[in-house]
Structure 1
Amino acid sequence: MSRHATAPELAQAKAEGLHNIGEAAQLSGVSAKMIRHYESIRLIPEAGRSVAGYRLYSDADLHRLRFIKRSRSLGFSIKQIETLLGLWDNRSRESAEVKRLALDHASELAEKIREMQTMQRTLEDLARRCHGDDRPDCPILQDLAAECCEGGGAGRA
C-alpha cells in the first residue's frame, strides 16, 4: 500500500521534496537495486508512487538508507540492522541494548579477525616452505590436497 493517498505527478512529487529512485540512490549512496531489495525485505517502508508508477522517497527514507549503509559498512548483518532500526525508531529505547548489540558485534568481528590471522599465518608458512621455482614439488598444493585439516594443515610437507 502506498504512503500517498493519491499518486502525484513526478514533477509535483519533486516539488514536494520527494525523490525518484535514481536520486535516492545518488543522495544516499545506496544503489537502486539495493534500495528495491531493502524495500522488499521491509528495511525501508514501501515507497509511494507517482501517477506513472515511479517510486518516491522522502528525506526520512534517505536518512534511513544512510543508516542502513553505515550499518552495513560496519559489518552488521541484515538481522542485526533490523534490530538496530527498531531501536532507532523507538525513542523510549534504552541505550544499554544498543551498546550490547555493538559490543557483541565487535566481539564477533574480533573472532573473525583471529580466524583470518590464523589463515594468513598458515599461508605465509606454506609460502615460505615453497621453493617457488621450476620444480613441481609444492607444499602449498600438498596442503590444499590433504584430506584432513585438523591442526591447520601447515605441518604437512
Structure 2
Amino acid sequence: MKIGQVSKQTGVPVETIRYYEKIGLLAEPQREDSGYRRYTDDHVRRLSFIRRCRNLDMAQDEIRRLIELMNQPEAGCQQVDRLLEHHLEHIQQRITELQALQQEMQRLRAACANEGQVSECGIIDRLKQSSSNDPGLDRDNHIPGSH
C-alpha cells in the first residue's frame, strides 16, 4: 500500500511516517519501479505501536528501546517493566510541575481586577517581574520535555 493509505489507516500523518523512517523507528519500505514506497502490514503494525506509545507520551528513545526489546522475544520482560517504571516516574514529575504551574497561574489570575486598562493590569505587571522566586517552575520550559 502507498503512504497515503498507511497514513489514513494508522492516523499518522505522512510527514511523520517519513520522519520515523529517517530516524530509524520504522524500516524503509521497498520501492516500486515508479519510485513509490510500498508499505506492508508490518509497517502498519509498527506505526500503530509507535502511535500508541506516543499517545502514552513516550519519548523516541523509549520507543526505540521497546522496539529493540520486541526484536528479542526470548528475553525477559524485566527490561520492559523497568522502562515503564522510569516513564511512570517521569509522568509523576510532570504532574508535580503542572500542579506548580497551575498554582502560579491561579496567583496571576488573582492579581487581576478585571477592570481598568492593560497598562494597569496586575497580571501583566506580575509577568514582568523576575521569576527567580517561582518554586518548581523550570526557567526555560514550564513543562520540561513537552516542547
The TM-score with structure 2 as length reference comes to 0.85
**Residue in 1 that maps onto 2:126:** 143
Mark the runs of 5 or more structure 1 residues left unpaired by the alignment.
1-18, 153-157
**Residue in 1 that maps onto 2:13:** 31
Question: Alpha-carbon deviations, 1:71-115, whole Å to 9, x = none?
Answer: 001001111111011111210121111011111111101111111
Instruction: Give how far 1:56 is off.
Output: 0.7
* Higher CA-based Rg: 1
Instruction: Give how far 1:137 is off.
Output: 3.0
- State the percentage of identical aligned residues: 30
2:40 pairs with 1:58: yes
Question: Alpha-carbon deviations, 1:106-150, whole Å to 9, x = none?
Answer: 110111111111111111122123111115433322221113422
**Residue in 1 that maps onto 2:58:** 76
Q: 1:40 aligns with which of 22, 25, 33?
A: 22
Change in 2 beyond 3 A, CA 1:81/1:113: same
**Residue in 2 that maps onto 1:116:** 98
**Residue in 2 that maps onto 1:101:** 83
Ranges of 4+ aligned residues in structure 1 off by more than 3 Å: none
Aligned length: 134
Provide the C-alpha distance between the structure 1 equivalents of 2:76 and 2:29, rounded to a whole number of angstroms. Answer: 30
Instruction: Give how far 1:151 is off.
Output: 3.7
Provide the C-alpha distance between the structure 2 equivalents of 1:82 and 1:109, rounded to a whole number of angstroms. Answer: 19
Instruction: Give how far 1:62 is off.
Output: 0.6
